[in-house]
Homo-oligomer: A and B are copies of this chain.
């Protein structure tokens, strides 16, 4: 089934305790579509770049089955650029530079070829851009998922709650869930957020795994304990890409299958952090992904049958 990704295609410059990059290719849309490309053969992306964006990278996306008809290239304008520096614990970072550039007045175009998209992943972007894409889709997709961040809660809460009310699945982190709901307890936060619209909620907790809420059911997915996190940039987007790619490829929205999708998303995210930027997401193969998923099975599996009397 077809997947449509909406999200930034951008430049990042990253500094971590392990090293430093010049401008490299990043952006939520890039990470999401690369991660999901291991699950779906064809997918669509909506985004915008300037004429400084390398044509070869667009060809790389195409060669991974990503249709870039909806990727606008703005002549005479510059691509979105973000630069950040991670602290030693890798859990917090300082933003050094944010140049919105082409994102400032981004008007997302939905090509006719994209109108049959069954699954939609709205990466972190202005909630107005996210809702505009939904409104420009002629048919309601089977599942619309979205990411967002604290920034939009601070400056565009009305737009954000409107967009949240339009989607089926919200994927955010624990800090964002607490800010959005005003509740510290994630169980209480989850209820409040689902009352805002999304039937399904995923709360990512970084190195502590992720929680999936569907109806009265909760699933706690572990994160793989890693020796080193080399660069966390894009891990959350990669999780979303793995999750949605898996859902689009299996076309099954049961709780059991949503749990499997969370594990696939977590596995993809665990690869992402091993090198700078999108590097790992360009070199994986299906066997490597299966092996990693098996590590999650081994990590989280236990058998209580003998003992629950």
User: Mask for A219-247, Cβ within 8 A of B = 1, else 0?
Assistant: 11111011110000000000000000000
Q: Does A98 count as interface, using CB distance less than 8 angstroms?
A: no
Say yes or no: is A111 at the interface (Cβ < 8 Å to chain B).
no
Q: Chain A binding site: helix, strand, loop or mixed by DSSP?
A: mixed
Instruction: Establish whether residues B302 and A302, one from each chain, have CB atoms under 8 Å apart when the complex forms.
Output: no
A286 CA / B226 CA spacing, docked (Å)? 37
Cβ contact within 8 Å between A211 and B186: no
| Residue A100 interfacial (CB < 8 Å) | no
Contacts of A308 in B (CB 8 A): 290, 293-294, 297
Q: How far is it, in angstroms, between the C-alpha of A300 and the C-alpha of B303 when the chains are bound?
A: 11
CB distance from A223 to the nearest CB of B (A): 8
Known A-B contacts A88-B184, A227-B188; the reply to A297 vs B304 at CB < 8 A is yes
Roughly how many angstroms separate A223 CA and B294 CA in the complex, as a whole number? 22
Task: Check A225–B186 contact: CB distance below 8 A.
Answer: yes
Neighbouring B residues of A282 by C-beta, 8 Å = none
In the assembled complex, the CB of A89 is this many whole angstroms from the nearest CB of chain B, namely 6
Q: Are A302 and B222 in contact (CB under 8 A)?
A: no
The distance from the CB of A267 to the nearest CB of chain B, in whole angstroms, is 10
The B-contacting residues of A in range 153-194, CB under 8 angstroms, are 184-188
Shortest A198–chain B CB gap in Å is 18
B220 touching A256, Cβ below 8 Å: no
**Considering the chains assembled together, what is the distance between the CA atoms of A250 and B307 in angstroms?**
10
Contact indicator per residue, chain A 277-309, by CB within 8 Å of chain B (1) or not (0): 000000000100010011011111011101111
8 other contacts beyond A293-B307, A294-B308, A297-B304, with CB at 8 A cut-off? A205-B208, A217-B298, A219-B300, A220-B299, A220-B300, A259-B302, A260-B303, A260-B306
